[in-house]
Amino acid sequence: MSIHCELLILILTLTLDVQVHTGEIIGGQEAVPHSRPYMVLLERYMQDGKTKHCGGFLLNEDFVMTAAHCQASSYTVLLGVHNFYNSDGIQRISVVQTFPRKDYNETDLSNDIMLLKLSSKAKFSTNVRPIALAGQDDGSLPKSCIISGWGKTNKNIPNMSAVLMEANVTLIDSKQCPNTNVYCSEGETGPGKGDSGGPLVCEDRKVYGVVSSFYLNKYVYAKIPDYRSWIDLIMNQH
């Protein structure tokens, strides 16, 4: 299969149109409401006037992280969401500046990571809290990881989940991954349509990866430990 065909599959698989319907992450279940207060639902306003969605997660009161391929003309970040249809307590904050990795490659989706600076500070509460990032890579492979998002996997119904879903994933040896600077998992369980940009949270409750793509029967996550210096630099300078 050509790279262009693979890329088309990636975009169709991991990004969303605006329709909303009950759905689920592959092999997942509904998360306990607000048990993942760092989760962000990202509304993406496209040049053609459409609204699409990605996932993301809150790093501090000023910054959200997502995938670089979730770029758009403008954004609104939704914080404190569990059920998309219940707007009670949800914070809606526009994005004032975007910081995709300059070496992000649209062809193979390498370095698929982006920081978003909020136009106003997030207000922390029981339902809105940041999450810590994993530190520099020590060579070990994290285990007992969980992904979460509002993505949909039923190809016949291209709608997102109304409620936050989650699923356990097991990472495989990096030698089997399609790119460098990534983790990957395989099997029946993994992120689905619309989960791009969401966090890969492992046993110490820190984020190790950003949901990126599905390639050669593997789920791919940008490897946060390899980008910590860049992440810290952007957040400290802005």
- Each residue's pLDDT tens digit, 51-77: 999 999 999 999 999 999 999 999 999
Structure tokens at 152: 């949909």
The band of 109, judged by pLDDT with boundaries at 50, 70 and 90, is: very high
Residue with tokens 């969980």: 146
* Cβ-contact 83, 95 below 8 angstroms: no
In the structure encoding, which two tokens stand for residue 209, read together? Answer: 């990866």
* 112 catalytic per annotation: yes
Whether 192 and 63 have beta carbons less than 8 Å apart is answered as no
Q: Judge if 3-18+37-130+228-237 and 145-225 fold alike in CATH terms.
A: yes
Half-sphere exposure of 201 (CA within 13 A, CB side): 21
Residue type (1 letter), 21: H
Which residue out of 53, 62, 69, 161 is catalytically annotated?
69
Q: What is the three-class DSSP state of 134?
A: coil
Among 53, 82, 110, 112, the active-site one is 112
Q: Report the percent of the chain where pLDDT is more than 70.
A: 86
Which of the four CATH numbers 3.40.50.280, 2.120.10.30, 2.40.10.10, 2.60.40.10 does domain 3-18+37-130+228-237 have? 2.40.10.10
pLDDT surpassing 50 at residue 2 = no
The answer, yes or no, to whether residue 82 has pLDDT greater than 50, is yes
Angle (CA) 116-141-36 rounded to 5° is 45
Q: Is the pLDDT of residue 212 over 60?
A: yes
- Active-site annotation holds for 196: yes
Contact 133, 228 (CB under 8 A): yes
Q: Is 17 a catalytic site residue?
A: no
Which among 156, 173, 197 has a CA at the least distance from the CA of 15?
A: 197
Given 110, 148, 185, 196, the catalytic residue: 196
Q: Name the pLDDT band for 4 (thresholds 50, 70, 90).
A: very low
Average pLDDT over residues 104-124: 96
pLDDT digits (tens, 9 = 90+) for 153-187: 455 556 788 899 999 999 999 888 988 899 999 88
What is the predicted pLDDT for the residue at 96? 98
Which comes out higher in pLDDT, residue 91 or 161? Answer: 91
Query: What does the domain layout of the chain look like in residue ranges?
Result: 3-18+37-130+228-237, 145-225
> For domain 145-225, which architecture applies?
Beta Barrel (2.40)
